[in-house]
Structure 1
């Protein structure tokens, strides 16, 4: 990137945040801090009102705005890809907001970029194998959660925990959201459990943003949560089971709720691979399929199935 293009990009970066650290600029453009200082000085000499706070970063003086920004073809293609991803991997609220934003972006594209996007649109697809969310769990709260995060407001919600199958009312002080293993999660301090918890958003039945604020500085950051709890939380088991082909069709979409990540035909059977943390919960689901399922791995699940079968036998005896 030549210097003129870099100066323009730095100016756009400055307009995108209240304060931008010199280290952020250096990292983005892979330049030294000394070069950053020279570039900022060049912008100031050109009449751009760039202010600086010692030890904090640079900012644009209030009231200064760039003229409307034009996107090049590659940037427009990247945005189209993002739109396809959001349409499948976001919830109902965020999907609508992103679609509205894309309409505004398309409106400012040059004619040849619009033609390029139209020709490209039919050739990009994101296939989501997750089952659709029913009316019981509307899956439309991502925008509200983002609002509460930005304003530091407490959330109230009714949450259905899969491993206990119990609906509970929670008050949560959110610290972040993340997308993991095909689902969006809300991470926050749960006042009911007095600890940090992750909540799968498609398991939230009702949610409201209160007008009660909380002290964000009392909590760890999202990165700290991920670094700390990824080591202590139970790791998911990789489970492989086989069903006869004719029988496998009866399972339908249930397999997705139990964490299926892959399936393949092996002889006259369909082998399915799941990622699941709770062997007992998964094993009790397998019991519903009787002798029509064969556990391939792990060995712990095979042993647990024997215990569950004995439990059922003793119950009916």
Structure 2
């Protein structure tokens, strides 16, 4: 089976990575690369049968990792990472700049160092990022504690303000990862109090303390991160919508929760009422406009008015 592009890119970078970190522990390497130790072992087993044309034993990449540490015996010439093209470097610089603009998404000092290295590598004559000296994540230890817990896979004790409930609560959560959406950074985690996956917006976490115990979210919770983004986030608004029978296919492509049983409804030709959680009013307006009135909001007059006015403005442009 041909490796997926993301895995292929990782495989190409593994040999130079280990060549400069000879003897690194397998679990540490997995953390650095952001993958599981099981996946890293599979990658190394695949590299073991790759090498120079001819593919005789002495021409194959040789990495020893049986005892929990990785030693490089033969690199087959893959001693340095591939160089970035100008387009690739520009894409990375734009992405890093976008991450810098999101509160808490990354270690800002590390991101700025990465930007400087990319600019130096491609010979940029201007700097992509100009930020005040000394402006680092040390200014916000809460954000740093959250990221450290995610990286170290440790449970977190947080004090969190829920805007929808207008209340503050203390929770212990098991981090799964970080999400960015609508210009905000969220901690995706299994909430032990709610017994479900929740998203916690960084700027609403008043306090965060990394605990010594390992994070242990249920396996099924880690398998569906997008569901948490749209349906399990306590801070995102929701609306009730009506879906005409001819558009019920949206239930298979969007995380929309029907409010009635599709199998037992009396009139198959009647519209279906459902609940939709959305990230921003602008997105919801665009979503509804795409259906030309066949999917419509019924619980929020402001959104309905926005759809009507946007549709009228679009029609006016053709006259």
- Please, what TM-score do these two structures have when normalized by structure 1? 0.50
1:220 counterpart residue number: 220
Residues 182-217 of structure 1: CA deviation (Å, up to 9, x unaligned): 32221222233333322122211111212222445x
Q: Distance in 2 between matches of 1:211 and 1:67?
A: 38
Tell whether 2:101 aligns with 1:88.
yes
C-alpha deviation, 1:22, in angstroms: 6.0
Q: Distance in 2 between matches of 1:95 and 1:11?
A: 27
- Structure 1 SS opposite 2:179: strand
Against the structure 1 CA distance between its residues 12 and 301, is the aligned structure 2 distance closer, same or farther, given a 3 Å change threshold?
A: closer
Q: Is the 8 A contact 1:178 1:186 kept in 2?
A: yes
C-alpha deviation, 1:172, in angstroms: 0.9
Q: Distance in 2 between matches of 1:183 and 1:87?
A: 11
The count of residues paired between Structure 1 and Structure 2 equals 213
Tell whether 2:71 aligns with 1:50.
no
Q: Distance in 1 between matches of 2:298 and 2:224?
A: 34
Where in structure 2 are there 5+ consecutive unaligned residues? 1-7, 18-28, 31-39, 130-138, 242-278, 288-295, 303-319
Tell whether 2:299 aligns with 1:300.
yes
2:125 counterpart residue number: 118
Tell whether 2:113 aligns with 1:100.
yes
| Structure 2 counterparts to residues 142-181 of structure 1, below 5 A | 142-181=143-182
Rg: which structure is higher?
A: 1
Normalized per residue, the structure richer in helix is: 1
Q: Distance in 2 between matches of 1:200 and 1:156?
A: 15
Q: Distance in 2 between matches of 1:223 and 1:202?
A: 26
Q: 1:62 aligns with which of 52, 64, 71?
A: 71
C-alpha deviation, 1:119, in angstroms: 5.7
CA RMSD of aligned residues (A): 4.7
Q: Distance in 2 between matches of 1:60 and 1:201?
A: 36
Q: 1:261 aligns with which of 267, 270, 282?
A: 282
Residues 26-66 of structure 1: CA deviation (Å, up to 9, x unaligned): 9xxxxxxxxx956588496336323588xxxxx99425686
- Structure 2 SS opposite 1:146: helix
Q: 1:76 aligns with which of 62, 67, 89?
A: 89
Q: Is the 8 A contact 1:92 1:139 kept in 2?
A: no
Q: Is the 8 A contact 2:155 2:175 kept in 1?
A: yes
C-alpha deviation, 1:98, in angstroms: 0.8
Where in structure 1 are there 5+ consecutive unaligned residues? 1-6, 27-35, 54-58, 123-137, 240-257, 263-271, 276-296, 304-317
Q: Distance in 1 between matches of 2:90 and 2:229?
A: 37
